[in-house]
Structure 1
Amino acid sequence: MECVFGLVGDGFTLIAGDTSAVQSIVVQKTSEDKIMILDSHKLLGASGESGDRVQFTEYIQKNVHLYQFRNGIPLSTAATANFTRGELATALRKNPYSVNLLLAGFDKDVGPSLYYIDYIATLHKVDKVAFGYGAYFALSMMDRYYHKGMSVEEAIEFADKCILEIRSRLIVAPPNFVIKIVDKDGAREYGWRKTIEDASEPPAAELLPAVEVQS
């Protein structure tokens, strides 16, 4: 029941995503950060199978860094989006990745931008978008409340509305979300929206004593 959504505001792009790692009917953890900081001015939000999501996003991140090391300049957001789409398209004909992506970035000559890239290598530049089961509710909220030129405060308030709607309406709703922003000052984490914490291992003193088996 994943959900990742994003929007472009006045001079920034915001991405919010759930933080649940799930296998079948089991929630393995609720603190999985699915929004990667690609470089100083780019974010990559992902949803999909855990193995594909982690492997592919790390592959893109390392290649973006490699390009900058080799050429001395970073890839633009548009170039990164097209590179990512190309890698997905190539893999689609060999060993496809089950992963959907939101690429957010800020370029000096372009400003903020947001790209939708799905698992079959479809690429679109958008102002607002959402993935996952939560998208049914996030997109309807966007249709009603989103407008171009949102301030950071308005965007955060709007993201909180989307998260509340997802938690209220989705039958198996993710409990925790993380919000990240990229603007002229760079890509950064804004904050978390938590309702539960992952259970930690009990200290040694609280562990049950071993039971001796009588022979």
Structure 2
Amino acid sequence: MEVSFAMTGKGYVLLAADTTAVHSIIKVKTDVDKIKELSPHLLMAYSGEPGDTVQFAEYVERNIRLYQIRHTYPLRPPSAASWIRRSLAESLRSRNPYSVNLLLGGYDTSTYTPHLYWMDYLGTLVEVPFAAHGYGSYFALSLLDRYHDPEATVEEGLAVLRRCLDEVSKRLVVSPGKYKVKIVDKDGIREVEL
């Protein structure tokens, strides 16, 4: 029952993910952060099987940090997306594949452009202007298609996100109550309260 959304705007990427951890029909926690900060300008929202998501997110975070230590500069978003996709594809061909769906958002400080990537557990990678994972995507993608503006300010982007969250809470039977929202732009990563 996980829900995550992301969209690009004028010089930023906005990511939102629910904060609920569930096991079958039991709500275990309501304060889980499902958006991992990979580098100063790179965020990853993850969903899927509970053990796989945490393990894969930490694996990605550590390897991207190792790259930055070895080369003294961080990995750019397109390169990070390509490496993460390859890691998912390699795990798919192993005996224990990761069942993880990802939204990777980052700001490229060399070209001054935001990037958003949609990835699924099969290793599919697509650069998109907006994306969603989970049951909430059934309701939010049509709203994002209608109201997303690539030249929108942060306030306008948050208004579209609020519209998506309201629609999910109205229509989804087991909608999550709380969401964590993070923005990455030229100034780095910051969390936003809705």
TM-score range, shorter chain: over 0.9
The reply on whether 1:90 has 2:90 as its aligned counterpart is: yes
Contact 1:42–1:106 at 8 Å: present in 2 too? yes
For the residue of structure 1 that corresponds to 2:122, the secondary structure is coil
For 1:127, the equivalent position in structure 2 comes to: 129
Asked if the contact 2:67/2:75 (under 8 Å) is kept, the reply is yes
After TM superposition, the structure 1 = structure 2 runs for residues 57-76 of structure 1, keeping only pairs within 5 Å, are: 57-76=57-76
Q: CA deviation at 1:50?
A: 1.0
Unaligned regions of 5+ residues in structure 1, if any?
194-215
The 8 Å contact of residues 68 and 75 in structure 2, kept in 1 or not, is answered as: yes
Which of 168, 171, 181 lines up with 1:169 in the alignment? 171
* Alignment check: 8 A CA contact 2:11 2:112 kept: no
Deviations 1:139-191 (A, max 9, x none): 01112211221100001111111111100000110111111000000012112
- Once residues 50 and 151 of structure 2 are traced to their aligned partners in structure 1, the CA distance between those partners, rounded to angstroms, is 34
Q: Size of the alignment, in residue pairs?
A: 192
How far apart, CA to CA, are the structure 2 residues paired with 1:78 and 1:188? 21
Cα shift readout 1:34-68 (whole Å, capped 9, x = no counterpart): 01111100000001111101000000000000001
Does the CA contact (< 8 Å) of 2:13 and 2:183 recur in 1? yes
1:25 is matched with 25
Structure 1 segment 150-165 matched on structure 2, within 5 A: 150-165=152-167
- SS of 1:103's partner is strand
Q: Are the aligned partners of 1:37 and 1:188 in contact in 2 as well (CA < 8 Å)?
A: no
Q: Which residue of 114, 128, 134 corresponds with 1:112?
A: 114
- Equivalent residue letter for 1:163: L
SS at match of 1:43: strand
If the length of structure 2 is used for normalisation, what is the TM-score? 0.97
| Aligned-pair CA distance for 1:110 | 4.5
Residues 13, 104 of structure 1: 8 Å contact kept: yes
Compute the TM-score of the two structures, normalised by the length of structure 1.
0.88
The C-alpha deviation readout for 1:180-208, integer Å capped at 9, x for no partner, is 000000012112x5xxxxxxxxxxxxxxx
RMSD over equivalenced CA pairs, Å: 0.8
- The unaligned stretches of length 5 or more in structure 2 are none
Q: Aligned partner of 1:7: which letter?
A: M
Report sequence identity in percent: 48
